[in-house]
Amino acid sequence: MKYKNIDEYINMFDENIKDKLNEIRDIIISVAKDSKEVISYNMPAFKNNKVLVYFAANKNHIGFYPTPSAILKFNKELKDYKTSKGAIQFPLDKPLPIELIKKIVEFRIKEDMWKIFF
């Protein structure tokens, strides 16, 4: 299925996953107030000049995709989470790390703004 918007994506899931997806969406919105919600690679994403972050539901976790630079920048703070080059896995059975997500989104906003000037 090709999603048209973030609401359509979130509404495809059971309530417990919907709650997590809405929570991460609200966290991102609280920091990236001027960003545009988009679907990119068939996942929810937030975009300024370029995509800041993506997120998606998986079987046992919420995938958060803030690009490789953010994974490197917050490597120490992410030690309790499974990560890869550009992804973080937040387990469904644990609370989302709200302050860490906010810091990552703030970093990506600054990085996005920096790139348009250079």
Does 118 have pLDDT greater than 60? no
pLDDT of residue 116: 61
Domain residue ranges in the chain: 6-117
As given in the structure block, the two tokens for residue 46 are 């937030």
- Report percent pLDDT > 70 for the chain: 97
Query: Measuring CA to CA, which residue among 65, 68, 53 is closest to residue 90?
Result: 65
**Tens of pLDDT along 62-108?**
999 999 999 999 999 999 999 999 999 999 999 999 999 999 999 99
Interacting residues of 15 by C-beta distance below 8 A, sequence separation 6+: none
**Rounded to whole angstroms, how far apart are CA atoms 55 and 71?**
14
Nearest to 55 by CA among 40, 36, 35: 40
pLDDT at 99: 98
Return d(Cα 4, Cα 114) in angstroms, integer: 30
pTM of the model: 0.93
Q: What is the mean pLDDT of the chain?
A: 95
Q: Residue 115 pLDDT more than 80?
A: no
pLDDT of residue 117: 56
The CATH architecture annotation of domain 6-117 reads Alpha-Beta Complex (3.90)
